[in-house]
Amino acid sequence: MDACTAIVGINWGDEGKGRMVDLLTENFDIVVRYQGGGNAGHTIVNQYGEFMLHLLPSGVFRKNVVNVLGNGVALDPEHLLEEIQILQAKGVEVTPDNVKISNRASLLLPWHRKMDALEESRLKEKQFGSTKKGIAPFYSDKYQKKTVLAGELFYPEVLHHHLNDLREWKNLVLTGVYDEKPVTEEEIDAWLDKYCKPLMPYIQDTSEFLMEELHCHKQILFEGQLGALRDLDFGIYPYTTSSNVLASYAPIGSGMPGVEIDRIIGVVKSYSSCVGTGPFVCEMFGAEADRLRQIGGEFGHRTHRVGPIDLVATRYGVQIQAATEIALTKLDVLSKMDEIPLCVRYRLDGVETDKMPFPSVLDKCEPVIEKMPGWQSDISGIRTWWDLPKEAQDYVKRIEDAIGVVIKWISVGPERHSIIRRG
Ligand code: GDP
């Protein structure tokens, strides 16, 4: 078996990566989160119940799996502590033995969330649809070298001065630009006591840990957040997230620079969904969209926009993720449709293309739709490829032909074992 595998999203996020990690972790020793923060979540249904994981790696439910939050993560202590406590209350073991936080992960500070909300409200109708979890202000501060590392918690004097300097600087913006109250030293001290100190036992040099484990031939799984089209550098900028979600970034964000990833499992959803604003060429509207949203359970804090599978965007996502194999999720959601639409190309200025256009012209693109016959039967109990209706097989093969990478798994329900392994 290969030592390093990544599971990453190919579309706009919410593809069902969490369920794939939860399923496949039985074969891995370590699961690592390498980017992002509490702004997106994986939903996992297993014997403990249904969980939304935002920060904790999805291997946390498996005994004997060590879960690492790498240096690339936006480490929000308040959010992480709450998540740990929710899991512990439901009987899931979360200890410094099975959850480790990189001492080089930067801390999302109390003002980051505030800055996020203030900027979104300043933008009014031009809002980006931020989750207001402070992720964009966090990453911009990180790259300005204006946040603190988790490991600094072990050096209280250095930390005290560092945080005071940052607080003074941030208060200039809060009071001067946004006319807000300044953050006080007492507020920061209370935040340190309440949320950061309890996390200290989990913090260590995870790079060293991971490299040692790799040399001991342990199997490592990198778990990506969001999807390729939200990648900061290669996504639909500026409607991207503020970090690199691509598998190529996993070794860096995990603290293992230069380590090669052997397998990249790209997760593709059988239809499209997109949360937040920005171009979404294949978007469907009206009753058809409402029906798909309903069956697909596409609800959350923010509206889930839906559409048919977008083969242009999916092929691009597969390419930039450099996926070596695909997991196609939520095929069961399409079961009741007479005909299944697919967005096969875009039309831009009257010319059809199957190449992903530059982000600035996406709003001008129209989807070219083809339809395939549906199967109109419940496939959620099916566990082998050969038992799938022919129409469902044809649909899967049509996607596979378009993206040029083998579809190895097909999920037909949210539960861990509602899966068809192919080949
Ligand atoms: P992630 O962020 O990529 O992990 O995706 P989410 O967790 O946001 O979204 C996936 C949603 O689809 C969750 O509610 C899952 O329980 C659900 N889900 C995953 N796979 C399937 C499937 O094959 N069929 C159905 N019906 N639901 C699924």
Summarised one tens digit per residue, pLDDT across range 338-361 is 999 999 999 999 999 999 999 999
Mean pLDDT score, 394-409: 98
pLDDT for 416 equals 86
**Nearest-angstrom CA–CA distance, 374 and 207:** 48
> Quick one: what percent of the chain has pLDDT higher than 90?
81
| Ligand 1 geometric centre to CA of 422 (Å) | 19
pLDDT in tens, 184-238: 999 999 999 999 999 999 999 999 999 999 999 999 999 999 999 999 999 999 9
Give the residue-averaged pLDDT of 382-394. 97
Residue type, 332: D
| 281-316: pLDDT as tens digits | 999 999 999 999 999 988 877 779 999 999 999 999
**What does DSSP say about strands 220-227 and 4-9: parallel, antiparallel, or unpaired?**
parallel
Q: Return the half-sphere exposure (C-beta side, CA atoms, 13 A cut-off) of residue 422.
A: 21
| Domains 106-198 and 268-421 equal at CATH topology level | no
What is the best residue among 329, 331, 335, 412 to mutate for testing ligand 1's pocket, by most ligand atoms within 8 Å of CB?
Answer: 329
Residues 6+ apart with CB under 8 A from 96: 201, 202
For residue 116, the model assigns a pLDDT of: 82
Q: Give the pair of three-digit tokens for residue 84.
A: 């740990």
CATH architecture for residues 106-198: Orthogonal Bundle (1.10)
In CATH terms, the fold of domain 4-104+202-265 is Adenylosuccinate Synthetase; Chain A, domain 1 (3.40.440)
The widest CA-to-CA distance across the chain, in whole angstroms, is: 67
CA of 17 to the centre of ligand 1 (A): 7
Alpha helices, DSSP H, located in 255-340: 286-296, 311-321
Structure pTM? Answer: 0.93
Confidence of residue 27 (pLDDT cuts 50, 70, 90): confident
How many Å apart are CA 92 and CA 216, to the nearest integer?
A: 27
Residue 413 CA, closest ligand 1 atom number: 24
pLDDT category of residue 128 using cuts at 50, 70 and 90: low
Q: Would you kindly state where each structural domain of the chain is located, as residue ranges?
A: 4-104+202-265, 106-198, 268-421
Mean pLDDT over each residue of the chain, to the nearest integer: 93
**42 flagged as catalytic:** yes
378 an active-site residue?
no
- pLDDT at 120 > cutoff 90: no
Hunting for tokens 């596409």 — which residue is that?
Answer: 298
Element (H, E) at 107: strand 106-107
Determine the pLDDT at residue 110: 94
Residue 175 pLDDT greater than 70, yes or no = yes
- Give the pLDDT score at 130: 64
**Angle formed at CA 57 by CA 210 and CA 200, multiple of 5 degrees:** 70
Q: What's the pLDDT tens digit per position in 60-104?
A: 988 899 999 999 999 999 999 999 999 999 899 999 999 999 999
Q: Compute how many other C-beta atoms are within 10 angstroms of the C-beta atom of residue 140.
A: 14
| Structure token pair of residue 36 | 């992002």
Q: What's the rounded Cα separation, in Å, for the pair 27 and 20?
A: 12
Region 268-421: CATH code: 3.90.170.10
